Structures are given as structure tokens and as C-alpha cells.
Amino acid sequence: MKNTGNKNKFLLLALIFTLVAIGVHTYLTQHFYGVKFGLAEGESVCNINEVLNCDAVTASKYSAFLGIPMALWGAATNLILLFFLFVTRYNLVQDRAKTSRYAFLISLITVIASIVMGVISVTKMSNLCIFCISAYVLSILGFICIYLGAENLSTKNISDDIKDMFVTDRWALGAFIAIPVLAFIGNLMYLESHGLSDIEKIANEKVTYWQAAPAQNFDPAAGLQLQVGKTEPVMTIVEFADFRCPHCKHAAPSLHAFTQSHPDVKLIFKPFPLDGTCNDAIKGGGDGISCGLAFAVMCSEQINKTGWKAHNYFFDNQMDIIQANSLDKNLESVAPVVGIPKDDLKKCVEGPDVRALVVKMANEGATAQIGGTPTVFVNNKLLSGGQLLPVLDAAYKSLKK
């Protein structure tokens, strides 16, 4: 009885670890879709620096298997594991010992997958995901508890259990099969509900149009620059965007994640304020705020190379920026973020040099006949839907052939 009590304690711990793991995998699944399809509301909470960057990991080719997010595979596996642990811990089956061993087998799968993904992260990628690492740790902790809570654990018993799955315990086999079924159905339901079931076909069509599009002429030195690698870029992305544009806010995480996960890709951000006070392509005037935000970003870059900090701040706090309806208040809020005294930042924003730079970049967009924001060009050619990872991936693969 005492031995059973101890095993129940370990199984209870395993249940807790598994529940937490399901929560982590659920977050990572939602994050995957947000970044992949340009639906993210800003950067992930676990984007700490260039190395510890969940967005970049999500944008890598290792974040999905058979087109299904690795996180969704993990959520489905842990959900089935939770079922086995629950019925074992609370004696809801006739053969508790055998069910505990089935739980051990599923837990072993999660550990093997965690080790494989961990090795890939260290050897194949330049970025790490804190939440992914936490999922790996949870799988190992859960496995240890399940090992200690399993009954009559031996190689012979496990071998016999696997054979029984195809004869007397087909319900257990069905539970194992439910893992890929749940992952497949979950992915399909998400894609269908968001009208993305044909995304791969659409991406290939957009790449075909991109390849045939006329080349534009952009100044590569004008705008914010981002590239994690040192080599000549195979792919150069030029994005035109407005800081008060909601679609631009959603596009930013995907474009940044893709660039940070591909060392041979360069991203150039060029402001295209939807504001007639600095953009002649916008008829009907404007309130000057969008132009001022663009000036502030370029001033931050010129003064102390913090343009991307200003860029991220304005998009992450877009609703507050819009509601403030005051350039002066926005400059006051961004000044400590970029480490520039407000008076110095304001002086630069009101100066002629930064205005001329933003007007020049806006004119580049107007000459390229962009129809709205965000607009993405790849290697100087318009790539429709270029804020979506499947489209960027398809274009990138065509360039690498």
C-alpha cells in the first residue's frame, strides 16, 4: 500500500507537469500561426535578444513537421499522455500496471522528440526559444516521475504490452493513433477557419507573379537595416509601412522572424506615412503624426542606432499611439525607450534632414506605385502577400535553387 501511495505521488506530479506542458504547447501553437500568417499582435513575450528569440525559431524550417506545427504535435501527444496518467492515477482501468507502462511509452516519445529538437536547436539554428526549452524540460521531468510511478516496468513487460496493443488492448493502440489524428485535425481546422487551407498553392502563385514583376530601384542605404549574417544577402526584403497601420503591426513580427532565422536574408524598412504632410502620394493632407513617428524612428537610428527599438515600440503600443493623437506625447513616451532626451529627439524630428530622408523613401514607394501598407518587395520586385511566412518561404526557396 505504501509503495502504491508513493507511485501515486509521482503520477500526480507527472499529471501536473503534463498539464503545464499542454499549456506551453498551446501557447506555442497559437504563436506559430500568428507569426506564420501575419496575425501576431507584436513580438512574442519570450523574445529576449537575437539568440533567445521565439519568433525567429518559429520562422525556421524546423518549427513544423508535415506542415503541422511541432508545438501542435506536442500538445496532441501530451493530451493523450494526460489521459493515460489520469486513468492510471485514479484507478479507472482494470490493469493499472499495464496502463502506467503505456503512459511511460508515450512519455518516452516526448523525451526522444525533445532531445532531437534540442540537438537541432543547438547544432542547426542560431536562435533559441525559452518556451520550447521549458517544454523540453517539462517532458524530462514528467518522464522521470512516470518512470518512478510506473508498475512492473521491464523490457519484457513493455514488449508484451506493445504486442497486446494489436490484440487485446486495441483501445490503447487507438489512443496512440489519436496523436497524429488530433494534430492533423487541429491544423486543418485552424487553416479552414482562417481561409488558409490553400496557402501553399496561393504562395506559389504569388511567387510566380513576383518573378515576372518589373524591377524597381530603391536606395539600399536608406531605411532601417536588419541582417544577422555577414555574407551578401541572397534575398533582400524592402518593406514600406506606416506606424499607425494595423496591418503593418501584424506584418512586422513575421518579417523580423523570417529575417532573423535566415542569415542570408536582409530586411530594409522604409517608412511610407499615410500622411500628406510628408508624403506627396497621399492626397488630402494629414495631421502630421504618422510623418512625425517616421521622423522619430529615423532620428533614433541616426543619433544612437536605436531605430529598431523605436520601430518596435510604436508598433507594440500602436493603440496608445493612436489614442494619444499627439506627436509630442508620442515623442515623450518613446524618448526613454531609445535613450535620447526628448528635447534632442524633438529637435531632430523638426529638422530638415530627417524630413528629406523620409520624403525620399516615401517617393521611392510612390514611384514603385504601392497601393497601400504594408507593401513588400523582394530583390526589388513586388511580392504580394510578402508579410506571410509561406509566401516568403516560397520566394526564398526559389532563390536558393
For the beta carbon of residue 49, count every other beta carbon within 10 angstroms: 7
Are 215 and 341 in a shared domain? yes
* Sheet order of strands, 265-271 included: 224-226, 265-271, 235-241, 375-378, 381-382
Question: Residue 205's domain is classified under what CATH number?
Answer: 3.40.30.10
pLDDT > 90 in the chain, percent: 84
Beta-bridge partners for 241: 271
**280-317 pLDDT, tens digit each:** 999 877 899 999 999 999 999 999 999 999 999 999 99
Question: What mean pLDDT is predicted for residues 181-203?
Answer: 91
pLDDT digits (tens, 9 = 90+) for 121-169: 889 888 889 999 999 999 999 999 999 999 999 999 999 999 999 999 9
Give residue 389's Cα distance to chain centre: 10
Residue from 317, 314, 326, 313 nearest 287 by CA: 326
Same domain as 238, residue 339: yes
pLDDT surpasses 70 at 178: yes
Q: Is the pLDDT of residue 112 over 60?
A: yes
DSSP state for residue 221 in the 8-state scheme: T
Please check whether residues 186 and 155 belong to one and the same domain: yes
Residue 3, pLDDT score = 72
Residue 57: HSE in the Cβ half-sphere, 13 Å Cα cutoff: 28
pLDDT at 55 (0 to 100)? 87
Distance (Å, whole) CA 1 – CA 320:
61
Average pLDDT estimate for 10-38? 94
* Positive or negative: CA dihedral 145, 150, 154, 158: negative
Give the separation between CA 30 and CA 54, rounded to whole angstroms.
Answer: 12
pTM (predicted TM-score): 0.84
CATH number of the domain residue 88 falls in: 1.20.1440.130
Of 82-96, 193-207, 348-362, where does mean pLDDT reach its minimum? 193-207
How does pLDDT run across 249-277, given as a tens digit for each residue?
999 999 999 999 999 999 999 999 999 99
In degrees, rounded to 5, the angle at the alpha carbon of residue 204 between the alpha carbons of residues 127 and 251 is 50
Residue 373's φ and ψ, nearest 5 degrees, are: -125, 145
Picking from 143, 171, 193, the residue at the C-terminal end of a domain is 193
CA distance 203 to 386: 9
Mean pLDDT score across all residues of the chain: 93
Of the three residues 170, 193, 216, the one that is the final residue of a domain is 193
**275 and 243 within one domain:** yes
Supply the pLDDT for residue 52. 84
Is residue 374's pLDDT more than 80?
yes
Confidence of residue 2 (pLDDT cuts 50, 70, 90): low
Residues 172, 248 within the same domain: no
Q: Of the candidates 127, 162, 193, which is a domain's last residue?
A: 193
pLDDT at site 127: 85
Are both 13 and 60 inside the same structural domain? yes
The residue with greater pLDDT, 44 or 368, is 368
Question: Quick one: 164 and 207 in the same domain?
Answer: no
Across residues 168-178, what is the average pLDDT? 95
Percent of the chain at pLDDT > 70 equals 99
Total domain count, the chain = 2
Pair 246, 155 in one domain: no
Same-domain pairing of 186 and 290:
no
Same domain, 189 and 257: no
Residues 189 and 205 in one domain: no
The answer to whether residues 150 and 293 belong to one domain is: no
Domain that holds residue 237: 200-400
